[in-house]
């Protein structure tokens, strides 16, 4: 099966991807181009820029035909497909074609064939020219979208992305392994240098990142003061900069609006409140603020792209303005809320990179963007590093081969032969939650007033985009009299929840509902205080003690019933032999399902050996099958899905063939503690099967002795053991007596 050629343009936002893609389209000659993205605003901007009179129209052939997919008439379809010469560009958001059935116009059945079929070349009216897919912002593409686009039988995918490529595209790259595919991606990628883009004046040259360990009003004042300075400098150009106040909720946005209007004296007519459900939130705000002056641009359905030109200088937004908008005149950002994630902040920074009119000012301040936020000191360093990496132009990246890499959207369900059950295992911190409360309280003293207080601090670090580095000469710290504060309880819940949401999440915590009312927990401390520093130092001990209480137990009233098994891409004929073998359907006599696929060579060997025992067993689907909680908090994953379940006389084996690099992880060794849980019906035992002969070394780490045979890692009585066998058949036979 011939796959389309994949090539990629990797360039930072604002680097001119559209004109570069336009030049590439010009060189195609005769053909049809489906130009798509998942962002509607990008499509409308592209249409304006490519059409006659647009700023990039001169980069395309004079006779190019540019159409929106949702506006194509029946006559247009006939003309597009019959034509053998010329270039046609069809613009469409992903939403216009990425659904099954005939709900979308392009997929409607018209005498046995759809417009989508015709565009793919099917039927007597099928297209006569080669088709190419241009996907802008391709890092947002999904497996389903690319699978749908491959139905068009394109000659090539031309992908533009400012971020790393999705692993879902792995099948389109030549190569038999990750190294070969990564090399192919490098060869087929054109990288636009970020410093070169900055040098050409397309982007702002500096990013000022200001960490504000102060009150909200102080941080907002600093951001607004910077906006006023820039406004004064821009007044001679008869324009103004935009300051964006980015909030986590509509209520927080209304509080920011009140501060801007009543305390900073900003004209409310120049503040665009682009937040959802403003009216329903007004009941929860200060009734004495002049809410009648508020301008709700979200309710008025104003286009975000038009807000600057309509005279707004301050924009308050949250998720309602997340997709499809960046504003060259946006110079200042205030990110509301304490302890925002560095990833979230780094993603927002991309909205402020474009230089107005792609023309630098003589004043360097007007070629810079400014960001004000509040994060822990340790996270600030991580943010600088993350942002610097995101803005770099590295041309070589490792492609991750994942289990969910793109496959044809075909599957077949294999019914289960009979009802078979196994008790579920649950995680618990125990019955006595007061023990957990005491862990917190024993690590939090009653602080002195002096320890709870700290002067506010503003730390500025500057990224120089022209040289792809931090400008250390501009690094500075300032103190402020005021500072934001937070209760010890709120701070601990936030930090512990980030570590593992089984400790704390929005719906509650593992502690009693009363501990937050303890005087120790109600203390309010300021950011940067000695109290906060001590609590940060005590977090590792709190987590260690919580882990001592964290264990597994059977859910006696909750059982897992084996369900039908879903064969994904059964017998699909990949060009890659390894992949073809993996999705080959294999039949089994004694399994709870008659067929399985998705097995690698070693897994298939184990499955066939288990099947020869003549007892009940099944392949266990990842993500949807039987799972065992990871008995260790803070490991980044919550559940373990064994590859196979095997029913013996008095026990059920959860078996997992693993590579030695995985078995060395302490998490997997801790999973064997499941074997210590007693159940009156069936005891669950966890076993890991390794290819080769292993013995246990220091800390029960398996050490390879020989590549012959295979080894079972399991727990018996109180010790972890490694038992080697000449063949996998002998290993699985022994499971019935161990």
pLDDT score recorded for residue 410 = 58
Summarize pLDDT for 579-616 with one digit per residue, the tens: 677 778 999 999 999 999 988 889 999 999 999 999 99
Once rounded to an integer, what is the mean pLDDT over residues 320-342? 73
Once rounded to an integer, what is the mean pLDDT over residues 698-713? 88
Count how many residues are written for the chain.
Answer: 738
pLDDT score recorded for residue 399 = 34
- Please give the angle made by the CA atoms of 606, 610 and 612, to the nearest 5 degrees: 120
Helices 40-50 + 17-28 axis angle, to 10:
60
The CA distances from residue 46 to 22, 97, 208, 406, 439, in Å, are 10, 18, 30, 28, 58
Kindly tell me if the per-residue pLDDT of 168 is higher than 70: no
Kindly tell me if the per-residue pLDDT of 395 is higher than 50: no
pLDDT score recorded for residue 380 = 77
Kindly tell me if the per-residue pLDDT of 465 is higher than 60: yes
Residues 572 and 633 in one domain: yes
Inside any domain, residue 322:
yes
Residue 106, burial from CB neighbour count under 10 angstroms (0-12, 13-18, 19+): buried
Kindly tell me if the per-residue pLDDT of 68 is higher than 50: yes
Distance of alpha carbon 539 from alpha carbon 576, whole angstroms: 49
How much is the CA Rg of the chain, to the nearest whole Å?
Answer: 30
Residues 101 and 208 in one domain: no
Inside any domain, residue 726:
yes
Inside any domain, residue 580:
yes
Percent of the chain at pLDDT exceeding 90: 43
Nearest one of 81, 79, 117, 111 to 97, comparing CA atoms = 117
Return the number of other C-beta atoms located less than 10 Å from residue 735's C-beta: 20
DSSP-derived secondary structure for 321-364: G-SS---TTEEEEEEEEET--HHHHHHHHGGG-BPGGG---SSG
Mean pLDDT lowest for which of 245-259, 582-596, 632-646?
Answer: 632-646
Residue 260, burial from CB neighbour count under 10 angstroms (0-12, 13-18, 19+): buried
Distance of alpha carbon 639 from alpha carbon 628, whole angstroms: 6
- What is the extent of the structural domain holding 274? 197-390
Residues 186 and 201 in one domain: no
Kindly tell me if the per-residue pLDDT of 403 is higher than 70: no
What CATH code is carried by the domain that includes residue 236? 3.40.50.300
Residues 25 and 94 in one domain: yes
Once rounded to an integer, what is the mean pLDDT over residues 648-673? 71
Among 191, 216, 232, which residue terminates a domain?
191
Summarize pLDDT for 191-203 with one digit per residue, the tens: 888 888 888 888 8
Distance of alpha carbon 736 from alpha carbon 738, whole angstroms: 6
Inside any domain, residue 432:
no
Element (H, E) at 8: strand 5-10
**Phi and psi torsions of 64, nearest 5°:** -65, 145
Mean pLDDT lowest for which of 162-171, 177-186, 707-716?
Answer: 162-171
Tell me how many domains the chain contains.
3
Among 390, 419, 445, which residue terminates a domain?
390
Summarize pLDDT for 122-160 with one digit per residue, the tens: 888 899 999 999 988 765 666 677 778 888 899 998 888
Distance of alpha carbon 32 from alpha carbon 130, whole angstroms: 6
Element (H, E) at 36: strand 31-37
Q: How confident is the model at residue 41 (pLDDT cuts 50, 70, 90)?
A: low
Nearest one of 642, 202, 705 to 466, comparing CA atoms = 202
Inside any domain, residue 466:
no
pLDDT score recorded for residue 353 = 87
pLDDT score recorded for residue 173 = 80
- Please give the angle made by the CA atoms of 271, 274 and 276, to the nearest 5 degrees: 140
Residue 378, burial from CB neighbour count under 10 angstroms (0-12, 13-18, 19+): exposed
Kindly tell me if the per-residue pLDDT of 274 is higher than 90: yes
Percent of the chain at pLDDT exceeding 70: 86
Higher pLDDT, 297 or 140: 297
Q: Which of 484-493, 605-614, 675-684 has the highest mean pLDDT?
A: 605-614
Residues 205 and 182 in one domain: no
Once rounded to an integer, what is the mean pLDDT over residues 83-87? 94
Inside any domain, residue 590:
yes
Residues 239 and 98 in one domain: no
Distance of alpha carbon 275 from alpha carbon 279, whole angstroms: 10
Kindly tell me if the per-residue pLDDT of 704 is higher than 60: yes
Task: Supply the mean pLDDT for the chain.
Answer: 84
Inside any domain, residue 628:
yes
DSSP-derived secondary structure for 145-162: HHHHHHTT--SEEEEEES
Inside any domain, residue 398:
no
Nearest one of 444, 665, 446 to 541, comparing CA atoms = 444
Kindly tell me if the per-residue pLDDT of 541 is higher than 60: yes
The number of helix segments (H) and strand segments (E) in the chain equals: 22, 35
**Are 655 and 689 spatial neighbours (Cβ–Cβ below 8 Å)?**
yes
Find all residues with CB under 8 Å of 648, minimum gap 6, and list them.
Answer: 615, 735, 736
Residues 592 and 680 in one domain: yes
**Are 732 and 606 spatial neighbours (Cβ–Cβ below 8 Å)?**
yes
Residues 226 and 94 in one domain: no
Residues 232 and 108 in one domain: no
Once rounded to an integer, what is the mean pLDDT over residues 253-269? 96
Q: How confident is the model at residue 14 (pLDDT cuts 50, 70, 90)?
A: confident
Mean pLDDT lowest for which of 264-273, 374-383, 519-528, 704-713?
Answer: 374-383
Distance of alpha carbon 451 from alpha carbon 78, whole angstroms: 77
Residues 254 and 119 in one domain: no
- Please give the angle made by the CA atoms of 617, 623 and 625, to the nearest 5 degrees: 30
**Are 69 and 97 spatial neighbours (Cβ–Cβ below 8 Å)?**
yes
- Please give the angle made by the CA atoms of 673, 675 and 678, to the nearest 5 degrees: 115
Residues 181 and 90 in one domain: yes
Once rounded to an integer, what is the mean pLDDT over residues 92-98? 79
Residues 176 and 263 in one domain: no
pLDDT score recorded for residue 394 = 41
Would you give the distance in Å from CA 139 to the centre of its chain? 11
Phi-psi category of residue 666: left, alpha or beta, with phi > 0 → left and psi -120 to 50 → alpha? alpha
Q: What is the four-CA torsion angle of 298, 302, 307, 311, rounded to 10 degrees? A: -100
Kindly tell me if the per-residue pLDDT of 396 is higher than 50: no
Among 166, 191, 216, which residue terminates a domain?
191
Once rounded to an integer, what is the mean pLDDT over residues 558-573? 84
């Amino acid at each position: 099966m011939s796959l389309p050629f994949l090539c990629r343009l990797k360039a930072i936002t604002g680097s001119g991807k559209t004109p570069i893609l336009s030049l590439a389209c010009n060189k195609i000659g005769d053909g049809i181009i489906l130009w798509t993205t998942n962002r509607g605003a990008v499509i409308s901007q592209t249409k304006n820029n490519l059409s006659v009179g647009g700023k990039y129209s001169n980069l395309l052939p004079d006779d190019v035909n540019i159409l929106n997919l949702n506006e194509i008439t029946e006559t247009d379809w006939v003309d597009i497909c019959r034509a053998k010469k010329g270039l046609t560009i069809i613009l469409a958001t992903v939403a216009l074609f990425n659904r099954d059935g005939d709900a979308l116009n392009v997929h409607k059945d018209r005498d046995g064939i759809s417009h989508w079929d015709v565009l793919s070349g099917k039927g007597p009216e099928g297209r006569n020219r080669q088709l190419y897919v241009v996907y802008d912002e391709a890092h947002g593409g999904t497996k389903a979208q690319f699978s749908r686009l491959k139905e068009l039988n394109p000659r090539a995918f031309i992908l533009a992305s400012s971020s790393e490529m999705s692993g879902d595209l792995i099948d389109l790259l030549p190569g038999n392994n990750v190294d070969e595919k990564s090399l192919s991606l490098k060869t087929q990628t054109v990288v636009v240098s970020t410093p070169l883009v900055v040098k050409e004046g397309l982007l702002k040259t500096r990013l000022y990142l200001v960490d504000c360990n102060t009150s909200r009003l102080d941080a907002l004042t600093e951001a607004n003061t910077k906006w006023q300075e820039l406004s004064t400098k821009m007044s001679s150009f008869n324009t103004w900069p935009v300051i964006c106040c980015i909030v986590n909720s509509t209520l927080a946005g209304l509080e920011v609006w009140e501060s801007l209007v009543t305390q900073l004296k900003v004209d409310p007519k120049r503040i665009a409140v682009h937040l959802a459900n403003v009216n329903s939130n007004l009941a929860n705000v200060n009734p004495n603020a002049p809410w009648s002056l508020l301008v709700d641009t979200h309710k008025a359905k104003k286009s975000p792209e038009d807000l600057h030109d309509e005279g707004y200088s301050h924009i308050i937004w949250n998720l309602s303005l997340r997709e499809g908008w960046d504003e060259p005149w946006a110079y200042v950002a205030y990110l509301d809320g304490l302890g925002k994630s560095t990833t979230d902040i780094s993603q927002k920074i991309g909205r402020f990179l474009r230089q107005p009119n792609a023309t630098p000012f003589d004043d360097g301040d007007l070629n810079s963007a400014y960001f004000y936020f509040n994060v822990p000191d340790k996270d600030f360093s991580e943010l600088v590093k993350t942002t610097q990496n995101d803005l770099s132009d590295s041309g070589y990246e490792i492609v991750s081969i994942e289990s969910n890499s793109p496959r044809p959207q075909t599957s077949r369900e294999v019914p289960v032969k009979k009802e078979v059950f196994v008790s579920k295992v649950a995680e618990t911190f125990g019955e006595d939650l007061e023990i957990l409360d005491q862990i917190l309280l024993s690590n939090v003293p009653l602080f002195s007033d002096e320890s709870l207080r700290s002067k506010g601090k503003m730390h500025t670090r500057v990224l120089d985009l022209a040289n792809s580095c931090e400008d250390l000469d501009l690094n500075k710290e300032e103190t402020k009299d005021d500072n934001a504060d937070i209760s010890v309880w709120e701070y601990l819940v936030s930090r512990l929840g980030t570590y593992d949401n089984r400790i704390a999440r929005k719906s509650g915590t593992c502690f009693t509902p009363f501990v937050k009312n303890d005087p120790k927990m109600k203390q309010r401390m300021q950011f940067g205080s000695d109290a906060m520093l001590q609590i940060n130092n005590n977090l590792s001990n709190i987590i260690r003690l919580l882990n001592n209480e964290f264990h597994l137990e059977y859910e006696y009233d909750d059982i897992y019933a084996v369900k039908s098994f879903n064969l994904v891409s059964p017998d699909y004929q990949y060009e890659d032999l390894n992949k073809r073998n993996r999705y080959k359907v294999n039949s089994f006599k004694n399994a709870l399902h008659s067929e399985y696929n998705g097995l690698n060579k070693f897994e298939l060997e184990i499955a066939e050996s288990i099947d020869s025992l003549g007892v009940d067993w099944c392949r266990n689907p990842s993500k949807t099958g039987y799972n065992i909680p990871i008995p260790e908090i803070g490991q980044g994953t919550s559940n373990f899905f064994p590859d196979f379940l095997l029913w013996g006389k008095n026990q059920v084996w959860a078996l997992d063939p693993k590579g030695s690099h995985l078995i060395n992880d302490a998490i997997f060794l801790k999973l064997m503690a499941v074997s210590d849980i007693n159940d009156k019906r069936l005891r669950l035992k966890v076993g890991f099967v390794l290819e080769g002969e292993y013995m246990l070394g220091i800390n029960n780490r398996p050490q390879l002795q020989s590549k012959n045979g295979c080894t079972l890692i399991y727990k018996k009585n109180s010790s972890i053991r490694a038992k080697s066998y000449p063949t996998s058949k002998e290993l699985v036979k022994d499971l019935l007596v161990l």
